[in-house]
């Protein structure tokens, strides 16, 4: 059972608080993604688990054992780095073999396991090449193979796909997901790409300024963002966030009138996802304005309207066409989720 528990861990660099005191439990076999913008403390958190960074206070437990003072090699972890971290002077075979060699695995056993692992990540034919002779995707596979070759209890992956081009990233994402399904090893994955987080994770921990602001399944985080930050961070295109106020059970902003269940108050942000807005000809629709932009994405067209301070985007049919600056109306679809947040604190109101 490779459960990882972070208990009240905190990280300070001098006077700078990188990760404020917090706790997190990563279940056995789980694929947990630490998601957040650059500098939010996600990599620091992962490096603390790896033992590459000392923790200022708190405890880290792996399989119930406190490992604060254990060196990285004794934590039974494997890590995949953003820049691969391959040994440039070694061949692919030697790179994959290295952790086994250091752990005293016999030569014959090493040979078999390296071949098996290389085949698993489709590197079998490249074993005698050096990293400099490989493409980005192949290098990433070597890094993966080196991590899985000794079947550790925990995988740590620090933005492993961020150096790959968009197409390769999608392919590798699927491979990672399949690999996790096949091996069932507890995995902690750091990324700033919400799409990666949504597609890979069993649970996502959204981080901001060192703190975990929401920890839940991707579905739940998408459907019920805990606060304004999460609402804006998750989803592509991101959720429409419209500044306005509530009076008489109606949310009002420039060109917007949507009935809501909230007492009268100012400084309210209404959130609604683009796919939950329908384009309509009805002039009395909930959101009205002038067409600002049309963006064809292939399977749909993103329609953006503006009215004063209001800007809203809807996902329309791929064939939708209209003139820029022509009147445009959007209304929430049946069953659309309307999110309300407090502008000042970002807290969810309903």
Partner 1 sequence: MQDRLLPYWLLIPAFVIVLATTIYPLAYSFITSFRAWDLTKSRRPGDFVGIDNYVYAASESAFLNSLWVTFVFVITSVVLTVILAMALALLLRRKGPMHTFTRIILILPFAMSPALIGVSYRFMFNPEFGVLAKGIGAVFPALQGVPWLADPQLAMGILVLTDVWHWTPYMTFMCLGGLASIPRETEEAARIDGASNLRIVFGIILPQMRGVILVMAVLKTIFALKMFDQVVTLTGGGPGTSTETLAYFIFNVGFRWFDMGYASALAWILTAIMMFISIWYVRMLLSERKMATA
The whole-angstrom separation of Cα 52 and Cα 46 is 9
Supply the Cα-derived Rg of the chain in whole angstroms: 24
Could you tell me which of 69, 12, 73 has the C-alpha nearest to residue 44? 12
List C-alpha distances in Å: 291 to 190, 288, 319. Answer: 38, 9, 16
| Subset of 113-132 contacting partner 1 (CB under 8 A) | 130, 132
The answer to the question of residue 77 lying near partner 1 (CB under 8 A) is yes
Q: How many positions of this chain bind partner 1 (CB under 8 A)?
A: 26
Report residue 267 CA to chain centroid gap. Answer: 29
> From the CB of 163, what's the least distance to partner 1, in Å?
12
Contact partners, residue 347, CB within 8 Å, separation at least 6: 227, 228, 341
> From the CB of 42, what's the least distance to partner 1, in Å?
17
* CA end-to-end distance (rounded Å), the chain: 39
The answer to the question of residue 78 lying near partner 1 (CB under 8 A) is yes
Please identify, using beta-carbon distances, which residue of 7 and 52 lies nearer to partner 1. Answer: 52
The answer to the question of residue 13 lying near partner 1 (CB under 8 A) is no
Please identify, using beta-carbon distances, which residue of 51 and 210 lies nearer to partner 1. Answer: 51
The answer to the question of residue 70 lying near partner 1 (CB under 8 A) is no
The answer to the question of residue 199 lying near partner 1 (CB under 8 A) is no
Please identify, using beta-carbon distances, which residue of 71 and 335 lies nearer to partner 1. Answer: 71
Contact partners, residue 116, CB within 8 Å, separation at least 6: none
Among 52, 250, 260, 349, binds partner 1 (CB under 8 A): 52
The whole-angstrom separation of Cα 200 and Cα 181 is 11
The answer to the question of residue 84 lying near partner 1 (CB under 8 A) is yes
Among 82, 163, 202, 280, binds partner 1 (CB under 8 A): 82
Could you tell me which of 4, 14, 33, 76 has the C-alpha nearest to residue 203? 33
Scanning 60-68, 75-83, 116-124, 229-237 for contacts with partner 1 by CB under 8 A, the matching segment is 75-83
Q: Note the residues at the interface with partner 1 (CB under 8 A).
A: 50-52, 71-73, 77-79, 81-89, 98-99, 102-103, 130, 132-133, 146
């Amino acid at each position: 059972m490779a459960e990882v528990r972070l208990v009240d861990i905190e990280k300070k660099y001098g006077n700078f608080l990188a990760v404020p005191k917090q706790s997190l439990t990563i279940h056995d076999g789980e694929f947990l993604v630490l998601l957040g913008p650059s500098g939010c403390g996600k990599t620091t958190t992962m490096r603390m688990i790896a033992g590459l960074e000392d923790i200022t206070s708190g405890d880290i437990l792996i399989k119930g054992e406190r490992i604060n003072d254990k060196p990285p090699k004794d934590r039974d972890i494997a890590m995949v780095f953003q820049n691969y971290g391959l040994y440039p002077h070694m061949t692919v075979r030697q790179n994959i073999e290295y952790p086994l060699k250091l752990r005293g695995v016999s030569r014959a056993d090493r040979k078999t396991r390296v071949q098996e692992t290389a085949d698993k990540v489709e590197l079998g034919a490249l074993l005698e090449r050096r990293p400099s002779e490989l493409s980005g995707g192949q290098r990433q596979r070597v890094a993966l193979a080196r991590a899985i070759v000794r079947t550790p209890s925990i995988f740590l992956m620090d933005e492993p796909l961020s150096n790959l081009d968009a197409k390769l990233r999608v392919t590798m994402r699927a491979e990672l997901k399949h690999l996790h399904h096949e091996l069932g090893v507890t995995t902690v994955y750091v990324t700033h790409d919400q799409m990666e987080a949504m597609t890979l994770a069993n649970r996502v921990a959204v981080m901001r300024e060192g703190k975990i602001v929401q920890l839940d399944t991707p579905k739940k985080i998408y459907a019920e963002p805990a606060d304004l930050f999460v609402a804006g961070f998750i989803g592509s295109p991101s959720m429409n966030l419209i500044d306005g106020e509530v009076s008489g059970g109606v949310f009002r902003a420039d060109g917007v009138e949507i009935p809501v269940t909230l007492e009268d108050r100012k400084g309210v942000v209404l959130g609604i996802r683009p796919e939950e807005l329908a384009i309509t000809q009805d002039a009395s629709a909930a959101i009205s304005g002038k067409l600002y932009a049309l963006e064809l994405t292939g399977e749909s067209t993103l329609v953006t309207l503006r009215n004063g301070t209001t800007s809203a985007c809807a996902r329309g049919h791929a064939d939708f066409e209209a003139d820029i600056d022509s009147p445009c109306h959007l209304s929430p679809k049946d069953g659309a989720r309307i999110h309300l947040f407090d502008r000042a604190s970002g807290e969810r109101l309903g």
